[in-house]
Structure 1
Amino acid sequence: MRRFAAAQFQHNFDPNKVLYLTGDINYCSIYLADGKQTLTSRTLKWYSDRWPSFIRIHKGSLVNPLHVQRCVQISPILAHVVMQDGSTLSIGRRRIPTVINELRNRIKGESQFPKPCN
């Protein structure tokens, strides 16, 4: 388990128990598998540099591919991922093919992930 110092508090996050992170300017909300949410004073870039297995699906979202339930592509410019807790996160329109390919490569259940539209 890694320990990250955030301002005056230290949070212990096991990356495997983190579902996803959302960013808002210089703050980051971390959503855990047990339903808890934590606000930290770190950026998404800071976390993405330290947790390279996580996938940046949008300017404001970083997901743990281990907790992605499925990916839904509605059109070539509209898609989202569904997490294990049932929450949906939009995929940036320019990142759709890359995100789907990364998820397909990292997770064996390829039938859950559509082929990118050209």
Structure 2
Amino acid sequence: MIQSVSNVIEKNGKTIKENNLELKHNISIGTLVEVKYDEWYGDGACEKVHARLFIVAHGRDCDGTPLYSLCHHKTISQYNKISIKIGFTESDLKIIEQTNNVKKGKFVLEWK
């Protein structure tokens, strides 16, 4: 019999999914965050991303893990839905304080 990982019972007697559903989203919608990732697709296709985007929605993975959706606009509209990036965990994100320098584009997106 195949068992879903999210149905595995943990030490506290609850499933992984039950425990994950108790986790809260700790970053508010509208917060500016920085995300970095690279993805290898094979045959030379790849993606390297370093971006500052706004959290526009909260969601959950199939195992209940809190996820965040990001966009270059603070709010979702019919015109920017296609540019929303989904499926980021809190550990993928770094909160960025919106100082005047940040708002003017100074000292941003330095890949180290």
| Shared fold per TM-score greater than 0.5 | no
Q: What TM-score do the two structures reach when normalised by structure 2?
A: 0.31
More strand by share: 1
Instruction: Determine which structure has more spread, i.e. the larger CA radius of gyration.
Output: 2
Q: Which protein, 1 or 2, shows the higher relative CO under an 8 Å CA cutoff with sep ≥ 6?
A: 2
